[in-house]
Structure 1
């Protein structure tokens, strides 16, 4: 801990910095070279940001269900995150009769809070650097398999040393393309309950049309609460559990924001690839993302066809559709941004400098051929990757393609047991079936199977198609689903009561699914040596980049570990093709613009009458800006990516001023390059969040347990 404190003291004591690019690990702030965050507006000490022994900001930040971020905002374990992060849990709790997703919901006391199925939050306890330990056991002469064996052994040892007999989850990750290693100690809480969510027309206002766009007018938030046992320890759901007393909770500021204000975002960004070569970027935008976008759009079309006809189907597929749609627009926008912003050419300039350094006599043997070998690798795998992207979307969206393989392995084991073995295994098997078929609709899945298999056959080069997919008839396979034991939950449960190995092994979906998985593994084996050499060249390229540019500050790519990013409230240039609804200073949006977008009955831009009435009366309470408008969203120049959804955006005092929820279309290439001029974070203003809770949904009592600073 002392070492961490000294690093932060160095950071905060010496410096001249412009806050913007970089998602920084707490222990890597030394690489900021003492940038002067205090001059930018930070008013916190090192211990207030990160501490192992005392409460700090990091104790209020949680990873939310593995894919988002949330923050603790009260002494009673209250959590804020995005509406789209809670979407799956909210949809699962909804029924056509009690449609919380559409109508919204707020508990008026603890007893009304709804236990969310399969939802957990993860607190970071501590982290440490094990680079020297692991690299000390590696050498350049090792084969890829030997290197992996050493690393895996060290990972297991480090996990065992720090888990305290299972009390903590320990994760070891490599950074900087496998050149450095750090471990993270986490504590997971599984009793998480829905406290409230705005009506969908507020929480998802603008839908797919406004997604990744500015200006936005979206109340993208939901509210949960963490529960533990009487001693504050993690526990499975129980009526005896009590709200968690957190080590720290974020105070909330109602002061508002203005351009230039210091901002800090802490969270769990998912994945970036900022050091990708020009060859890799070209592969993404000409092959990989083309397949992703094409297959995603086809999957969305299938889902929407049935969601528009049936409320239950809409609820059951809402989360899957939203996730696919989000990445579909992101990938399509990335292709456009890379081409428009000249990203490949910028990377080529960096590579030219690297190659000049690599050609020096003292470097040539190790680094001279790295880039040429990377270029050759991408030429080799170009169509292999295209196939993988179509196949991945097929497997992710067509449940009939993967469920038979996943459940079939357990079924085969079950059939081969004696009666005692079957009895011991049955409850687990039945629970797995229930979970797998939750929200499953055969009519949707048959169509999805046929549509995506047809697309694969039509778009993947013939020589790269898996044989089982190449020679399958999509319509015939979809029709065979009706006779499969995997057709419905009921047919599978019936089979479990009277199982037969012969029936299982001759089931058309089981055979297709199993062959597909086996062929995919064999297909991948063809490229093992090339993939291993590419991994080595990637490590060498990054190692060489750092050595060739000692003046540059290198930060690690995001990989779902806690990061902090610094910035300021910022503007985007006014665009002639956009409407701003009276806002002249383009860093915020307000309710005037929200109401101006209103289209009665429209799936994306409808608004509830109650909100319209409150707006008409200008009933904004204490939440309006000092200039009189009711704020909704605002911009900052913080560097974030997927996984940061729900992250708190904080002012220089560490007070919550909003929730990060999106990026902007001008910089959708942000995962592979930081576009300094264009890259912005779109945030929900916390004042609008509180207004919706209090004035619209009547849950103002929740504010009493929060620390609100006016």
Structure 2
């Protein structure tokens, strides 16, 4: 009997250990759900020190960076630390062929030298609260999804209005657990954000696409920005009179280094996970959606690269777009492989079989009896549509002229149909849109991408095509080169000058016949299409998905205890944790990498693995100062087993005392299925060691004045 009890106890402990690192948690729930577990792993902070409404806390040092990444405030003068790839587009925008900050790096020696990109903002989290009861009391399961949505949206508008304090704050009410709970979030946005420093691309993007999602890794993926405010510390549009933000809270930086099993938590804005997704949804992604995404992305990347390699100015134009496409190209390919290897669909089907058995019980049948059937029916009806949608998505993400004519044309149509007084009011906005629309593009590249993407869509889609694509494809054997070439010559949308000429003599009939406007309109309409035959199945699906999640939680059949990520502030926690030994890594243990390992990867004149001579000299000199590890090495990257996803890029990795020890920037390809399932054994977060960041700023870039701003902890 004693042996059985001990075995059960060991099993419970192993389950607890396996689950400890999983989850992206709300800060307001930390005390109730996670604090004791975190303390046992090494956390020294109280819940109040992490999240407080009334006092300054750790959450005040975390910002959402430009809507898609995370950053941290690391000085009392508003210094912002994020990933190089998060600041990539801003750095590219501020670069020219003559002063190529993306390629060569940039370090402002004074505040006056800090550079303002056209559009960049950070978002501070103020508070959150649960409004589930308030919202859900207004709806019931007998309503259609459209009726339900209208009522909920009306109440959301009220909640947002009640909490924005006259427009001072941005308020967002978001659904969780597939609409079974609702929370509101209050934010404050600062729009004057300036570039302070960035390493050269050979450091910030070392390893390129080859090393992306791989370990061992040797990437200095960081950049520094600064938040500016008006004289009263309030958000303001850019002005030379603005001053650095006096931060409410900034994170201290610890250079004592990391060791295996050290506690590590990550605060950030994870973009999206699908841990609650049904089995057939995963199968649709693996067999239909993701393969189309991968194929379309690779096509655009190959065309872009051809032109980018020929001309540095073209390279700067498309560097950010290419990097974004390449990142998700590899991600989606890895997802297909990982979800297949993990047999994720089969595992989810087993859970759903148990759910069906539970749902068939008399007490549950009326509410849950048709849930799985409705869900599976919807996916079977939309598999081919999902495939086409991803081919379209690949085109819309990579082809400027698949989107621009429709977006700009909508404003031009409004202008053409307006009276003189209305035109006078519309003109400044349209002129501004035109100026922004015709920056940085290379017409031959754009023409080839659009033609090839149309050909891919026409040959690979088994779902009804946009009319023009179908007609031209049948006429030309799905070769769109001649059609696109003639359309580019005929259309007004291929140059700013032609569009401005239209403004001088606006004519809605001319616009309606423009070939690129017609094509772009059909592509966007097809992408957004909600066909009538799917109206009822989609209604049933949305209701059933919500009920599935509700039922899984109610029955206890799911071991997930947290909502999917949706770009709201979350905390994940775990430990510094190695992967199995790897002969490619020269470090003493396979939880970190070294400068030596980076030098071993060095390939002269290689676009991914080249290094500046100064970097090679620095390795020979080995002047690592206080940033060396216990073995006299310079640590580059390290691993933790935190649960993160896209949007966590730039998140600070924080020790038990609330001090920055690193900067999250990637995950490992072995756990690429992490957006759908958490692999407790293989899932890792790849982080830049903060000591490498500081060495690059201090010793390599000779920008010690920046390091002097920080609160440095050296135990």
> Normalised by the size of structure 1, how large is the TM-score?
0.95
Unaligned runs of 5+ in 1: 1-14
SS in 2 for 1:266: strand
Does structure 1 residue 488 correspond to structure 2 residue 495? yes
Provide the rounded CA distance (Å) in 2 between the counterparts of 1:374 and 1:123.
38
Aligned-pair CA distance for 1:33: 6.7
Aligned-pair CA distance for 1:707: 0.3
Q: Closer, same or farther in 2 for the Cα pair 1:299/1:413, shift >3 Å?
A: same
Does structure 1 residue 541 correspond to structure 2 residue 548? yes
Does the 8 Å contact 1:661/1:682 carry over to 2?
yes
Does structure 1 residue 637 correspond to structure 2 residue 655? no
Provide the rounded CA distance (Å) in 2 between the counterparts of 1:34 and 1:691.
34
Q: Closer, same or farther in 2 for the Cα pair 1:521/1:707, shift >3 Å?
A: closer
Q: Closer, same or farther in 2 for the Cα pair 1:468/1:36, shift >3 Å?
A: same
Aligned-pair CA distance for 1:409: 1.2
Provide the rounded CA distance (Å) in 1 between the counterparts of 2:557 and 2:305.
52
Does the 8 Å contact 1:273/1:671 carry over to 2?
yes
Partner deviation per Cα, 1:600-621 (whole Å, 9 max, x = no partner) = 0000000011011011011111
SS in 2 for 1:84: coil
Q: Closer, same or farther in 2 for the Cα pair 1:551/1:503, shift >3 Å?
A: closer
SS in 2 for 1:661: strand
What corresponds to 1:565 in structure 2? 572
Provide the rounded CA distance (Å) in 1 between the counterparts of 2:560 and 2:290.
30
Provide the rounded CA distance (Å) in 2 between the counterparts of 1:86 and 1:34.
33
Instruction: Please provide the CA RMSD for this pair.
Output: 1.6
Does the 8 Å contact 1:296/1:325 carry over to 2?
yes
Partner deviation per Cα, 1:136-156 (whole Å, 9 max, x = no partner) = 101111111110111010110
Does the 8 Å contact 1:16/1:34 carry over to 2?
no
Please show how residues 127-206 of structure 1 align to structure 2 within 5 Å. 127-206=128-207
Provide the rounded CA distance (Å) in 1 between the counterparts of 2:524 and 2:483.
16
Provide the rounded CA distance (Å) in 2 between the counterparts of 1:255 and 1:30.
28
Aligned-pair CA distance for 1:376: 1.8
Aligned-pair CA distance for 1:30: 6.2
Unaligned runs of 5+ in 2: 1-14, 474-479
**In terms of mean alpha carbon deviation, does 347-356 or 90-99 score higher?**
347-356
Match of 2:483 among 468, 477, 480: 477
Partner deviation per Cα, 1:242-279 (whole Å, 9 max, x = no partner) = 00011100000001000100000000000000011221
Q: Closer, same or farther in 2 for the Cα pair 1:30/1:147, shift >3 Å?
A: farther
Does the 8 Å contact 1:19/1:568 carry over to 2?
no
What corresponds to 1:3 in structure 2? none
SS in 1 for 2:25: coil
**In terms of mean alpha carbon deviation, does 355-364 or 594-603 score higher?**
355-364
Partner deviation per Cα, 1:185-227 (whole Å, 9 max, x = no partner) = 0000000000000000000000000000000000000000000
Aligned-pair CA distance for 1:558: 0.1
Q: Closer, same or farther in 2 for the Cα pair 1:34/1:353, shift >3 Å?
A: farther
Please show how residues 383-532 of structure 1 align to structure 2 within 5 Å. 383-461=384-462, 463-473=463-473, 474-479=480-485, 480-532=487-539
Provide the rounded CA distance (Å) in 1 between the counterparts of 2:306 and 2:382.
35
Aligned-pair CA distance for 1:346: 2.1
What corresponds to 2:681 in structure 1? 677
What corresponds to 1:7 in structure 2? none
What corresponds to 2:477 in structure 1? none
Does structure 1 residue 663 correspond to structure 2 residue 667? yes
Partner deviation per Cα, 1:550-607 (whole Å, 9 max, x = no partner) = 79451000000000001000011125xx611x22410000100000000000000000
What corresponds to 2:50 in structure 1? 49
What corresponds to 1:359 in structure 2? 360
What corresponds to 2:628 in structure 1? 624
SS in 1 for 2:301: helix
SS in 2 for 1:502: helix
Q: Closer, same or farther in 2 for the Cα pair 1:298/1:31, shift >3 Å?
A: farther
Does the 8 Å contact 1:383/1:464 carry over to 2?
no
Provide the rounded CA distance (Å) in 2 between the counterparts of 1:346 and 1:100.
48
Provide the rounded CA distance (Å) in 1 between the counterparts of 2:266 and 2:589.
23
Does the 8 Å contact 1:229/1:242 carry over to 2?
yes
Q: Closer, same or farther in 2 for the Cα pair 1:616/1:706, shift >3 Å?
A: same
SS in 2 for 1:626: coil
SS in 2 for 1:669: helix
Does the 8 Å contact 2:35/2:47 carry over to 1?
no
SS in 1 for 2:273: coil
SS in 2 for 1:407: helix
Please show how residues 92-111 of structure 1 align to structure 2 within 5 Å. 92-111=93-112
What corresponds to 1:284 in structure 2? 285
Aligned-pair CA distance for 1:131: 0.1
SS in 1 for 2:325: helix
Aligned-pair CA distance for 1:416: 2.5
**In terms of mean alpha carbon deviation, does 276-285 or 416-425 score higher?**
416-425
Provide the rounded CA distance (Å) in 2 between the counterparts of 1:439 and 1:133.
48
What corresponds to 1:8 in structure 2? none
What corresponds to 2:691 in structure 1? 687
Does structure 1 residue 607 correspond to structure 2 residue 611? yes
Provide the rounded CA distance (Å) in 2 between the counterparts of 1:517 and 1:551.
38
Partner deviation per Cα, 1:111-164 (whole Å, 9 max, x = no partner) = 000002110000011100000000110111111111011101011000100011
